[in-house]
Structure 1
Amino acid sequence: MSHSTLAEIAKANFKPASPLVDRELNPHALIAKYAVRGKIPTMAEQLKDTLQSDPDALPFDKIIAANIGNPQQLDQKPITFYRQVLALIEYPDLLKNENVTQIFPHDAIDRANEIMENLVSVGAYSHSKGVLYFRKTVARYIEDRDDHPANPEDIYLTAGASSAVNYLLSLLSNGPETGFLIPIPQYPLYTASLALNNATVLPYYLNEEEKWSVSASEIQKVIAKAKEDGVKPRSIVLINPGNPTGSILTAEGIAEIINVAAEHGLVIIADEVYQENVYEGEFVSVKKVLRDLQKIDSVKYADVQLASLHSTSKGMIGECGQRGGYMELIGFQESVLAQILKLASISLCPPVIGQALVSLMVNPPHESHPSHGPFRSEKLGIFNALKERSHKLYLAFNKMKGVSCQEPAGAMYCFPQLTLSEKAKTAAAQAGMAPDEFYCAQLLENTGICTVPGSGFGQVPGTWHLRTTFLAPGTEWIDDWAKFHEKFMNKYEN
């Protein structure tokens, strides 16, 4: 059988079709927005390229990526014990090397051997829920944290908490008549995912003047209004500690929201990825509060459905690129769980090295082991640096003219409110920007500090905010910000 040559095929007589344009794509994808990597961060990448080609071209010498909670991008060092164990399971032949004890402490070697006894290889697919050994370590951690039993079969290891969010929202969404109660301000993963799934966002506003507190009565009003509009509330999202607010919910506040969920049959999605980032007060999990309520009244709270999320990307670990996370599912019917498992199965399994990191996060070196001292020192050093910078940034904001900021009790962010002049708002409009976006753009172009406008997270109409991390090392950049702000306010003074 003879074949045409490429030259002969290229001579075929047809009119080529035009390439796709955006209006032909999924309309729900087109309206989804993710400000954390949006317009201002895109500008920052362009300025970074400029600095690389000409270090003297801009009034600063580096970009401070304060737009995203990505600790190791900002020079946070990885925890040594975690990386030692990961290195050994990535290359298990090291475990057989006679010199391995001269390089690695024995508890890291023991942990790696224990993991490898439960794995074929980190390069092999695992169960779609994740390796059972890892899920058992997570269950033990939850039991110790909450003083309530946990079942490994309720644990799903995930590629970061974001994949768990995507599973849940895609499964629970059933068109625009399905509503999701989302805190405002919120982490934009939620509104973006709901846009992709053509579901309806039901915003409930946090009270900024009362440390970004949650009001159950306000949530009831949102639910009532949604039902009047023909939207069925399906789920409520809690972010605790708060992103971007840094607030921490009390057990009593959580209990009031559980009451609302029980009354209306709402699935609770508890985003608790910052549970180790607590600087003031105490973190209490939604699961613990739910189990405590169920002990008081087993009938009233019997059918509450809860999905709790955690991640290796935050805390003192900051292993964002490893994509480790888990969700615990409580109170769901078996038929629903089967569908969640199906979604997890479509992705085959989460990264196995990320699963291993989850198990290390929830089961760190024991006090009697040689790695415990260095581990504790590294972790405490990171914690104290975050706490110190959070307080300094809070103080700096509240000294700036026209800025007010609640002190973050947890997480990695400040969310200050900006009072901008009419002159500044006019300049923003002329630049084709919202006032908060204009401020963030000016801050970036003058200092190299990249932040995110509050409009990317949601805010009370007529108010303007921005979100910044306090992950960047040192405090000089905070001083640079204060100097910029004074010049900005003087320039746009009415």
Structure 2
Amino acid sequence: MLRHSTKLFVNLERAAGLGASSASASSAGTGSFIPKQSDTMTSSTTPSYQKSLTLDNMCPTVRTAQYAVRGELVIRAEKLVSTLDRQKNEGIKLLPFEEIVYCNIGNPQQLKQKPLSFFRQVVALCECPELLESPHIDKIFPADAIARARALLASVGNTGAYSGSQGIASVLRSVAKFIEKRDGYPADPESIFLTDGASVAVQRILRLLIRDRSDGILIPIPQYPLYSATIELYGGSQLGYYLNEEAGWKMEIPELERSYNDAKEKGITPRALVIINPGNPTGQTLDAANMSDIVQFCHQKRLVLLADEVYQENVYSENKPFVSFKKVVKDLGTKVEGLEMVSFHSVSKGFVGECGKRGGYMELFGISPEVKSEIYKLSSIGLCPNVIGQLVVDLMVNPPQEGEASHKQYIEERDAIYNSLKRRANLLATALNSLEGVTCNAPEGAMYAFPQIRLPPKAVEEAKQNGKQPDAHYCIQLLEATGICVVPGSGFGQRDGTYHFRTTFLPSEQAIEGVCKKVADFHKAFMAKYK
């Protein structure tokens, strides 16, 4: 394992342009690892220590699970960062760019999105409550931030203490009120669980659904790799259904039927259907009529509907406003009586962008009390969600209201972020569609574009000779030529014979223009190279 890791390090150093001198120190010019005396325990008198945990005897599903958005491209990017540091410190030109632009993951504040002031003010006061005792506090913080911090501290007591397993009671009530206001139907705080971001909630529900390979989960292709990785990790079966790229990544019921029937023929029991709306990585937004068909399909097939709605505040199409699956189910009424559904939301996306705070929630609908008790047990095994994340959930679902001191600033900051994202989405899609052999559906929501790239046969052949997927080959060369880190479509799933990549449009408006130009220059050179 050490030999393999060191070879990878050496190869990545070479890819990063560190040159033969650096590599030869570790590889003796051969690419193989020659251990130093301190690296080995072997001698004529001391036998080698045999490790108890090896790649061969570890849990096999850990090895087979893949998570593309932090995979090979990001490892390469991190190596290039070291080279850039050397380039800056030593004043020598080693790479043809000055920084890495991380467009691989929806991480807004990494790309300089400004945090919402009210959120950070309240969190600061909750983390340092002695500030509330200062006689000058009202000169530093607005009155509503002070009042909110006092109310939250009265509920939680201390941010350094565990909360209840299900979450802070007052925050659960705030989430319920938010859902009721959004959908026009009541929500029960007892059916809501606060979690460390939406990812933990998704993993927890999949843990309940999957017993072995005979249990399958219907997931969109392309999909967010959280689902494929978690299903594999838990030993289940991925049942892909293809989104129609030519129709704007539309979800079609006949395709759901095909995937469902294929699974049944193979002896696999479909347990649940995953919907990501707005879509990741595709950026499409479902309309209410399509959602109604999907709900009725789940009801007919007795599938648990898993509604990933973390991008509900990222909707840019005026013709397709966000509608929650909870509202669609309630509107259908007795037609879908008994349907089981879990919906997910997070503070990481939207205009909040607080990824590092790890706050989220899931709402259970139609889930039996017995199963809910098991979910509570799983939550208890994890003790509780992180408390600061829970507080940010409260701020997300209950922001400053009209008439309060921070309302005007909050609206200005919110709208500035949203409108800028909308402009960047359009700018990026237009730029991508101008490239030779590239087509890209304009994002209707979320924060990603997923363009299809039609690669020359010579590029495809070279990639295969190097043991790479063709789109990964393209993305690696893009990274090493420009410093722009995107994710190949093969990490999300795609139709055979098609190639894509996913990119965020999170760099600032000024920066994204530069990103578009760099991609265009690279793409032109790449296509010319392989024609």
TM-score, scaled relative to structure 2: 0.89
Return the match for 2:218 from 181, 187, 201: 181
Whether 1:216 aligns to 2:253 is yes
Q: Distance in 2 between matches of 1:132 and 1:118?
A: 8
Question: Would you say 1:304 and 2:339 are equivalent positions?
Answer: yes
* 1:486 paired to 2:524: yes
- Superposed displacement of residue 97, structure 1: 0.9
Q: Indicate which of 72, 75, 92 corresponds to 1:42.
A: 75
State the alpha-carbon separation in 1 of the partners of residues 455 and 122 from structure 2.
Answer: 51
Deviation for aligned residue 1:431: 2.5
1:442 matched residue in structure 2: 477
Aligned to 2:115: 78
The 5-angstrom pairing of residues 85-234 of structure 1 reads 85-234=122-271
The Cα of 1:15 is off from its aligned counterpart by 5.5
Aligned to 1:51: 84
Q: Secondary structure at the match of 1:117?
A: helix
Letter in 1 for 2:191: D
Q: Distance in 2 between matches of 1:257 and 1:29?
A: 32
Alignment correspondent of 2:467: 432
The CA deviation at 1:368 is 0.4
Aligned to 2:8: none
Choose the corresponding residue for 2:322, options 278, 283, 286: 283
Instruction: State the match for 1:18 in structure 2.
Output: 50
Cα deviation, 1:45-67, whole Å, max 9, x if unaligned, reads 11111001113210000000000
The equivalent residue for 2:497 is 462
Q: How does 1:289-328 map to 2 (within 5 A)?
A: 289-294=328-333, 298=334, 300-328=335-363
Q: Which residue of 2 aligns with 1:4?
A: none
Report the Cα distance in structure 1 between the residues aligned to 2:156 and 2:361, rounded to whole angstroms. 19
Q: 61, 76, 82: which one pairs with 1:28?
A: 61
Measured in 2, the distance between the counterparts of 1:231 and 1:175 equals 10
C-alpha distance in 1, partners of 2:472/2:121?
42
CA distance in 1, matches of 2:49, 2:479: 42
- Cα deviation for residue 302 of structure 1 reads 1.6
Identity %: 49
- 1:114 Cα shift? 1.0
Deviates more, 1:447-456 or 1:424-433: 424-433
Which of 332, 335, 342 does residue 370 from structure 2 map onto? 335
- In the other structure, the counterpart of 2:436 is 401
| Distance in structure 2 (CA, Å) of the matches to 1:17 and 1:335 | 48
Indicate the SS of the match to 1:326: strand
Residue equivalent to 2:301: 264
Aligned to 1:363: 398
User: Counterpart of 2:394 in structure 1: which amino acid?
Assistant: S
Instruction: Write the distance in 2 (CA, Å) between the matches of 1:255 and 1:220.
Output: 15
Task: Deviation per CA, 1:126-152: give whole Å up to 9, x if none.
Answer: 111100100000000000000000000
Deviation at 1:14, TM superposition (A): 8.9
Superposed CA offset, 1:6-51 (max 9, x none): xxxxxxx995641232111100110000000000111111111100
Please give the per-residue CA displacement for 1:445-484, whole angstroms capped at 9, x wherever unaligned: 0000000000000001110000000001222111111111
For structure 2, the 5+ residue unaligned runs are 1-44
Residue from 258, 263, 274 that aligns with 2:311: 274
How far apart in 1 are the matches of 2:314 and 2:198?
Answer: 16
The aligned amino acid for 1:410 is G
Partner of 1:9: none
Number of corresponding residues: 477
Deviations 1:353-374 (A, max 9, x none): 1000000000000110121111
| Secondary structure, aligned partner of 1:22 | coil
Of residues 508, 511, 514 in structure 2, which corresponds to 1:476?
514
Instruction: Provide Cα deviations, 1:154-184, integer angstroms capped at 9, x if missing partner.
Output: 1100000000011001111010000100000
Q: How far did 1:259 drift?
A: 0.9
TM-score (norm 1): 0.95
Q: Which amino acid aligns with 2:73?
A: I
Out of 78-87 and 475-484, give the one that drifted further: 475-484
The alpha carbon displacement at 1:432 in A equals: 2.1
Q: Deviations over 1:301-354 (max 9, x none)?
A: 121001000000000111000000000000011111111111111000000110
Structure 1 CA distance for aligned equivalents of residues 468 and 526 of structure 2: 16
Q: How far apart are residue 416 of structure 1 and its match? A: 0.2
Query: For structure 1, which runs of at least 5 residues remain unmatched after alignment?
Result: 1-12
> Aligned partners of 2:157, 2:226: CA distance in 1, in Å?
34
Residue 364 of structure 1 aligns to a residue whose secondary structure is: coil
Tell me, in whole angstroms, the C-alpha distance in 2 between the residues paired with 1:178 and 1:58.
48
Deviation for aligned residue 1:430: 2.7
Partner of 1:390 in structure 2? 425
The CA distance in 2 between the partners of 1:275 and 1:118, in whole Å, is 28
> Equivalents in 2 of 1:186, 1:98: separation in Å?
52
Alpha-carbon distance between aligned partners in 2 of 1:273 and 1:23, rounded to the nearest angstrom: 37
The amino acid that maps onto 2:184 is D
Distance (whole Å) between structure 1 residues aligned to residue 467 and residue 98 of structure 2: 28
Q: What residue in structure 1 maps to residue 382 of structure 2? A: 347
Take 1:141 and 1:17, find their aligned partners in 2: how far apart are those partners?
58
The secondary structure found in structure 1 opposite 2:271 is strand
Q: Over the residues paired in the alignment, what is the CA RMSD in angstroms?
A: 1.1
